[in-house]
């Protein structure tokens, strides 16, 4: 299951991407428009900022804004920040690899091989989809 964190994060990014200007947008505006709990959204945008997808400005007239063009933000990056590994098992993950304790030989593991195939197809979709693509919905 996709976490609400990721779901809300993507919605917020899309909201920002759809704006013509790149002026700071307050959290409250996104929260209202997308029906997301303000405090929860606050923490999500904070992680996106710490991972250099968003910039922020404090005080009156402040808010969050995209640091790159929507067409330059791949969904692989967004997913890894918000959801973690693309792969469904650590032994298949490229960025979060961890060996299985119970499995003596990965190359002969049915789960490993099935999940490798799945990861590859997911990765292709996330790589070929940018925030700009998601704005055309």
Partner DNA sequence: TAATACCCTACTATATTAATAGGATATACA
Partner DNA sequence: TGTATATCCTATTAATATAGTAGGGTATTA
Picked from DNA, a second copy, none, the partner binding residue 27 (CB below 5 to 8 A depending on kind) is DNA
10 near a second copy, rule: CB under 8 A: yes
Q: Binding marks (x or -) toward DNA, 100..129, rule CB under 7 A? A: ------------------------------
C-beta closer to DNA: residue 15 or 64:
64
Is 71 or 98 the residue whose CB approaches DNA more closely?
A: 98
- How many chain residues are in contact with a second copy, going by CB under 8 A? 35
**Residue 6: burial class (beta carbons within 10 Å; 0-12, 13-18, 19+):** middle
Q: Please answer whether residues 135 and 69 qualify as being in contact, where contact means their C-beta atoms are separated by less than 8 angstroms.
A: no
DSSP annotation of 52 reads T
Q: By C-beta, is 27 or 130 nearer to DNA?
A: 27
Which position among 94, 95, 125, 127 is part of the footprint of a second copy (CB under 8 A)?
125
96 binds DNA (CB under 7 A): no
- Dist. CA 73–CA 33, nearest whole Å: 22
State the binding partner of 20 from a second copy, DNA, none, CB within 5 to 8 A by kind. Answer: none
């Amino acid at each position: 299951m996709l976490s609400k964190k990721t779901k809300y994060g993507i919605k917020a990014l899309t909201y920002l991407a759809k704006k013509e200007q790149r002026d700071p947008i307050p959290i409250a505006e996104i929260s209202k428009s997308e029906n997301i709990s303000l405090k929860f959204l606050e923490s999500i945008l904070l992680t996106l900022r710490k991972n250099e997808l968003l910039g922020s400005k404090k005080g009156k007239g402040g808010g969050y804004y995209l640091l790159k063009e929507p067409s330059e933000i791949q969904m692989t990056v967004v997913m890894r920040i918000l959801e973690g590994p693309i792969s469904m098992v650590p032994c298949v993950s490229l960025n979060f690899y961890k060996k299985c304790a119970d499995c003596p030989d990965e190359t002969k593991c049915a789960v490993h091989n099935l999940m490798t195939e799945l990861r590859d197809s997911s990765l292709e979709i996330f790589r070929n989809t940018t925030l700009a693509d998601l704005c055309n919905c």
